[in-house]
Chain A
Amino acid sequence: MAAEDLPSEFDVVILGTGLAESVVAAACSRVGQRVLHVDRRSYYAANWASFTFNALLTWIQEIQAESLSEEVQDRSSLVEEGEELIYLSGSDSASISNLQVFCYVSEEAEEEEEPANTTEEEEAGAAGEGAAKEPSETESAGSKEEEAGEAAEGDEQAAQEQGEEPEADQPQPSAPPSQSEPTRKKISYTQLVKEGRRFNIDLVSKLMYSRGSLVDLLIKSNVSRYAEFKNVTRILTYRHGSVEQVPCSRADVFASRQLSVVEKRKLMRFLTSCVEETEEHQAYNGRPYLEFLREQQLGDNLQHFLLHSIAMVTEDTLTEVGLASTRHFLRCLGRYGNTPFLFPVYGLGEIPQCFCRMSAVFGGIYCLRHSVSCLIVDKDSNRCKAVIDSRGQRISCSHFVVEDGFVGADRKVATPTRLLSRAVLITDASVLPGDSEQQVSLVTVPPTDGRPAVNMVELSPSTMTCIPGTYLVHLTCQSVGSAYEDLSPVVTRMFCTAECQDQENRPAVLWCLYFNMADGSGVEPEGHDLPSNVYVCSGPDGALGHEHAIKQAESIFLKILPEEEFCPPAPNPEDIIYDGENTSPTSIGEEEEEEGLTAAGGEGEEKQQEQQEEETSLQPEE
């Protein structure tokens, strides 16, 4: 960090580099606002971040160690007449909870594979240790205790593991040499760490609807030139104990072997009829979508696909909601591929960074590891006049945008905290091996026995998020219990978690992480006990798409600048006039994106095409 001070005046100061904050930053810079964008963390994208395996381990450590909050320094000396201070929260540690790590692979790469004999578990309590680096007997004993406790609650999985573990300790060496498959190359933990940089593990799990607001915004604003995308290649669903492909496009329906020709016709006809709203549809308004589907005489197969995998709603969702969701799905089909979804190469964390880069290109100033400790509020107007940064500098601003985690609990409207349950798995095979090993799949797991529906995204190495020979699997659902309680039953049903000889040949989990994250969908940008020119951005929500954050960003932007266009297309770099004066933002911020301009045009990335070729401008790779 250069010792230089930041400029003391900005139009907009933004704290937090999550998706909504980054979009606001890009939008404001784009229309000429002076933007200061800071984040207390050392990485971009807040809870939207993607980490390498090693960085994820560090992140886990930090979360577990998160007790040392910054001392609140008294800044009253900087307050002038008629002003008061609002202190911001020093950390957002509250957003992540119930973190648990399990490792199912052996430490070293061994030829005569001795199966991992421990189920490691890192808990919030076991803080500070190199995560899962030294599996010790004490730790695994600890986990046994933990699981025993869960078993008492009737958790079958825990009981199962517990039953297996002693076995794993002793008689194992005789069994595996004969049983082990010679084809499947085992990956050791050392290898995961060694090649950790090739992972890009997202904290949130989302997909981009190809006609969703994020894709539209990326195209419209030309931000798409900073990223590449892959098609999600198939939609799968978990049903009757096995994984099936959901035929959703015309080509899928044609090729499907599970559907009879009559079912094919019914499905196609239903999907076609959904595109336009009809009176028949309206007649079902207010009644469950399931009832509507039943009336269509589609049969169990199709009903399952339509409800859980296409509309992705629950049995009691209303018809109008279910239909709207189905329509959205259908509109997105075929724009870039045979499914409605795209996934950014190198992970979702790329997206907020792309917007930050756009902001920097248009003069936004960026500082990581830099925070705002308090706001200075004009008592008369109840507006935020300035902020005081973590180094005690007073910076005046007209608007302040903040990630909700930094807003003190006392200032927030009390909303019931909803949580998301997340699991991240590194596995050694796909849940449904196909012709190609480079499938990117969305797997919908319908709700069972009071457990919520789970969205599962399986990423292949082609997305540059995991190393060859592995798959990265993200599971997400609305929390009922802890992430482990919510998701481990699904994991044990679909994967092989211990080094057992599983006859079903399910993919083995090499490493996995469970945690809960606050669900951002409950946080409102306004209405808090805050000055009127302070806007709160929520963290990630549980929906599959990005609509929530993009909508939020747009509404904040329109409040700041009601007269301005939201993210108009960025001009081509060769059309920008540099007359020396006030154009190039000097490198003040330590993380400033100096390469922004060259990257924007220099490579002339083919991805950005003419307006009329909109269909391909967000060109999926390959």
Chain B
Amino acid sequence: MHGRVKIKTTAQQEEEKRKEREKKLKIYVAARDACFSKRNEGIWDDEALQLTQQLLSSNPDFATLWNYRREILMHLETVKDKDEVQKIYEAELSFTESCLKVNPKSYGSWHHRGWVSARLPRPDWARELTLCDRCLSLDDRNFHCWDYRRMVVKMSGVPVDQELAFTDRLIGSNFSNYSSWHYRSTLLPLLHPESPEPPSPCREPPQSSPPPSPQTHSHRVCEEQLLKEYELVQNAFFTDPNDQSAWFYYRWLLGRAEREEMISCVYVNREEERVAVAFSRPVNAQSVGLFLVLDGQPQRVEWRSVHPCFKHSPVWICSLPPGTISDITNERNLTVHWTEKHTHRDCALYTGRTESWCRDSATDQELFRSELSVEKTSVLQSELQSVKQLQELEPLNKWCLLTIILLMRALDPLGYEQEMLAHFRTLKEVDSMRSAYYSDLCSKFMIENTILKMEYAEVRVFSISDKNLTTLCHLDQLLLVTHINLSSNHLQRLPPQFAMLQCLEVLEADNNAIENLEGVYHLPKLEEVLLKNNKISTLADLQPLASCPKLKRLDLRGNPVTQTANVESELAELLPSVTDLLL
């Protein structure tokens, strides 16, 4: 058409671009080869600086070239005076800056900049901070920049309060930013540490134990500041309840108390001449310096975990030399020392008694409440109120529901049991992708509740039937249980940890989906195993039972294994002690 502007065709443009590219490539390859040969010859001159600069400015991710450049710079440091070095490094800084404009996430450029900044005779940290701020304002999740910034802050000693104000600013402009929230969580304990007053008396464990070590409490924040932080983070999750970062920060604020490291239980059985020790966390007894002293006499014993698959375990057992405690008329005093932690626990085996134990119960330790750190109940209560308020507005928000569950558990795990179960049901519906996770979590909480109930009742019977359990946990807390009822749940296996139930006599697990009995292993007192209507399909699955010497009664009705040919005779061979077999 007449008068129309004529434009090069796409093919023409392509052709031109291709030629351009070829030309560029030629230059690039030539320069690269020149660099490599110079480096091989060990030449560290200005020309090499020029060449690497030329290459790196078009491709800042060429690590070898950065290395070569550093070699040259280190060489120059030895031959130039301080002012010249300063100049050279300042030029380096502006060079890396231009590289970062090409690729703001270039590992090589950021690293080089850090290296240069650290060697600069007179560094200008304020300038570096400004650069970081600019860079973060373009992309507030550039972790290279965050890393570099941390280095700058450390080197230049920026006051903590300024840094906190910096996170205020970033969170204000966009609160979906883990980096800023996390940074905040590291700054607050420095700026507003928890006052060093001792924990309230009611929290003190009944036994005299060493005061909490400073490390375990140093990451806590004073209450006044905490309340401000709760307010801040509430603003975030009320604004956008689907944003995870705020919820994670909130979870951090609520805290996760670290359990005191201790020996939580010592159990001794006269008849079997056996000692079982439970720890507050899984340990490797062979390497933590565990000593057994009997009536003042150190004993050489061999510690073994409850199941060979555990190198670390919260429960360890040992056999005493034969005859040491078998005389029922003697009173025996045991002490187990955990030398690594400078802690120990005594246990007296009185005359006429066949077994004895000494322990802190879960209720004494408030074990399950300490999922949250020690907070005033009133604070938790008001937090629960506001999160519930949000839940009224957003009944289907999973973070909100989860947080409510958490707070309820911290406040009154038994009292809120029904509400908790209802919330779990909603959670599984609204977030069906994670329904298995919620089932496991719910199982955990139900087990905790049952443990509490058992301990309040001061019995050794653990009964948790028909509660939709999908997993077993806290089994170290069940060391003393003699009778367990797991019927009518959704369990698929009795895991190796199940072997921690060292006192177990009766195992009821009817109506589950159990395929695997790995954990029913060397349970010295186990007499009765009821596994009606499960999914045990082969004789091999029953193999672990052979390690339980006292097993007499076994109910396998409704399991596929009963269809095996010669099942009866095979079982008689496998489990000779069983006298009462139901198939």
Question: Which A positions have Cβ atoms within 8 angstroms of B?
Answer: 30-34, 250-251, 253-255, 261-262, 264-266, 268-269, 362-363, 571, 575-577, 579, 582-583
In the complex, the answer to whether A251 meets B1 with C-beta atoms within 8 Å is no
CB distance from B400 to the nearest CB of A (A): 10
In the complex, the answer to whether B238 meets A264 with C-beta atoms within 8 Å is yes
> Assuming A262-B389, A264-B235, A571-B5, what are 14 further A-B pairs, CB within 8 angstroms?
A30-B5, A251-B172, A261-B238, A261-B390, A262-B393, A264-B239, A265-B238, A265-B390, A265-B393, A268-B238, A575-B13, A576-B8, A577-B6, A583-B6
CB distance from B240 to the nearest CB of A (A): 6
> C-beta contact mask, B173-187 vs A, less than 8 Å → 1, else 0?
111000000000000
Contacts of A255 in B (CB 8 A): 172, 235
In the complex, the answer to whether B6 meets A576 with C-beta atoms within 8 Å is yes
In the complex, the answer to whether A254 meets B235 with C-beta atoms within 8 Å is yes
In the complex, the answer to whether B240 meets A250 with C-beta atoms within 8 Å is yes
Q: A253–B173 Cα gap in the complex (Å)?
A: 11
Supposing A32-B1, A251-B174 touch, asked if A265 and B7 sit within 8 A by C-beta, the answer is no
In the complex, the answer to whether A32 meets B7 with C-beta atoms within 8 Å is no
Contacts of B236 in A (CB 8 A): 254
In the complex, the answer to whether B6 meets A363 with C-beta atoms within 8 Å is no
Supposing A251-B172, A265-B394 touch, asked if A32 and B5 sit within 8 A by C-beta, the answer is yes
CB distance from B181 to the nearest CB of A (A): 13
* CB-CB nearest in chain A for B168: A255
Interface residues of B in 347-398 (CB under 8 A from A): 386, 389-390, 393-394
Contacts of B389 in A (CB 8 A): 261-262
Closest 6 CB pairs of A and B: A32-B4, A261-B238, A577-B6, A32-B3, A265-B238, A254-B239
Instruction: Tell me if B2 is interfacial: C-beta within 8 Å of chain A.
Output: yes
Among A32, A262, A577, point to the contact of B238 (Cβ < 8 A). A262
Among A254, A266, A363, A577, point to the contact of B7 (Cβ < 8 A). A577
Supposing A261-B386, A269-B393 touch, asked if A250 and B239 sit within 8 A by C-beta, the answer is yes
CB distance from A93 to the nearest CB of B (A): 36
* CB-CB nearest in chain B for A582: B3
Instruction: Tell me if B413 is interfacial: C-beta within 8 Å of chain A.
Output: no
Q: A577–B7 Cα gap in the complex (Å)?
A: 6
21 intermolecular pairs with C-beta atoms under 8 Å apart: A31-B1, A31-B4, A32-B4, A32-B5, A250-B175, A251-B172, A251-B175, A253-B239, A254-B235, A254-B236, A261-B386, A261-B389, A264-B235, A265-B390, A269-B393, A363-B3, A363-B5, A571-B7, A571-B8, A575-B8, A579-B6
> C-beta contact mask, B233-247 vs A, less than 8 Å → 1, else 0?
011101111000000
Contacts of B6 in A (CB 8 A): 576-577, 579, 583
CB distance from B174 to the nearest CB of A (A): 6
Contacts of A363 in B (CB 8 A): 3, 5
Contacts of B173 in A (CB 8 A): 251
Contacts of A577 in B (CB 8 A): 6-8
> C-beta contact mask, B1-32 vs A, less than 8 Å → 1, else 0?
11111111000010000000000000000000
* CB-CB nearest in chain A for B232: A254
Among B7, B235, B238, point to the contact of A575 (Cβ < 8 A). B7
Q: A583–B2 Cα gap in the complex (Å)?
A: 11
Contacts of B238 in A (CB 8 A): 261-262, 264-265, 268
Q: A583–B8 Cα gap in the complex (Å)?
A: 14
Among B1, B175, B386, point to the contact of A254 (Cβ < 8 A). B175
Q: Which residue, of B3, B175, B390, has the highest number of chain A Cβ atoms within 10 A?
A: B3
Supposing A262-B238, A264-B239 touch, asked if A362 and B5 sit within 8 A by C-beta, the answer is yes
In the complex, the answer to whether B239 meets A268 with C-beta atoms within 8 Å is yes
Q: A363–B5 Cα gap in the complex (Å)?
A: 9
* CB-CB nearest in chain B for A255: B172
* CB-CB nearest in chain B for A574: B8
Q: A362–B238 Cα gap in the complex (Å)?
A: 54
Contacts of A575 in B (CB 8 A): 7-8, 13
Contacts of A251 in B (CB 8 A): 172-175
Contacts of B4 in A (CB 8 A): 31-32
Contacts of A362 in B (CB 8 A): 5
* CB-CB nearest in chain B for A570: B5
Q: A250–B239 Cα gap in the complex (Å)?
A: 7
* CB-CB nearest in chain A for B241: A265
Contacts of A269 in B (CB 8 A): 393-394
Q: A31–B7 Cα gap in the complex (Å)?
A: 12
In the complex, the answer to whether B172 meets A254 with C-beta atoms within 8 Å is yes
CB distance from A472 to the nearest CB of B (A): 27
CB distance from A36 to the nearest CB of B (A): 13
